[in-house]
Amino acid sequence: MDELQIKLCDIQGRLFELSAQKKYGSAAFVKAFMMSDTAKELDSKYNRMQWAGEEYLLEEVASSAGDVLAAGGEVFPAEVLYWIGYIYRYWHYYSGDSSAKIYRQAPVETMKRNYMMFHTMDPVLAIEDLKEIHAQKK
């Protein structure tokens, strides 16, 4: 993992945190982001979105998600959201999987449920455990 990739993991973590400040329902926001064109652009080898800050990224997601984010819902604690965002981006760099594929393997409910056990683990170990949880569901 290079320095730029670690920085992008941090930006995505801060983006998820920022969604809590905006009072977006966390489950709706995370799903909207992970399935968005914005996430797809971040997944590419090089894209201008990789140079955008979390505020700009949030505007992009909010404008394309529309009413989905206005519906409300539970807002997760900032530290949980940061970890979810960070791990999802790390997972992409670790495996090469798209954000949409990662979300299908570990939806937001799985991430929230396992936060307490996994948030202090090395990201690779957490990702491998999350993949195992998904495999057991099949």
pLDDT digits (tens, 9 = 90+) for 9-42: 999 999 999 999 999 999 999 999 999 999 998 8
Average pLDDT over residues 105-130: 97
Residue 48: predicted pLDDT = 64
Structural domain including 93 reads: 3-137
1 confidence band (pLDDT: 50, 70, 90)? confident
> What's the mean pLDDT when you consider all of the chain?
92
Q: What angle (nearest 5°) sits at the alpha carbon of residue 10, between those of residues 6 and 11?
A: 115
Report the distance separating Cα 73 and Cα 96, nearest Å.
31
Report the distance separating Cα 131 and Cα 15, nearest Å.
24
Residue 6: predicted pLDDT = 94
Number of domains the chain is built from = 1
46 against 99, higher pLDDT: 99
Residue 47: predicted pLDDT = 62
Report the distance separating Cα 102 and Cα 33, nearest Å.
12
The CA-based dihedral angle spanning residues 28, 34, 36, 37, taken in that order and rounded to the nearest 10 degrees: 160
Amino acid at 81: L
Report the distance separating Cα 101 and Cα 38, nearest Å.
15
**What share of the chain has pLDDT > 70, as a percent?**
95
Give this prediction's pTM. 0.92
Average pLDDT over residues 111-138: 95
- On the question of pLDDT at 45 being above 90, the answer is no
Where do we find the tokens 């393997």?
Answer: 105
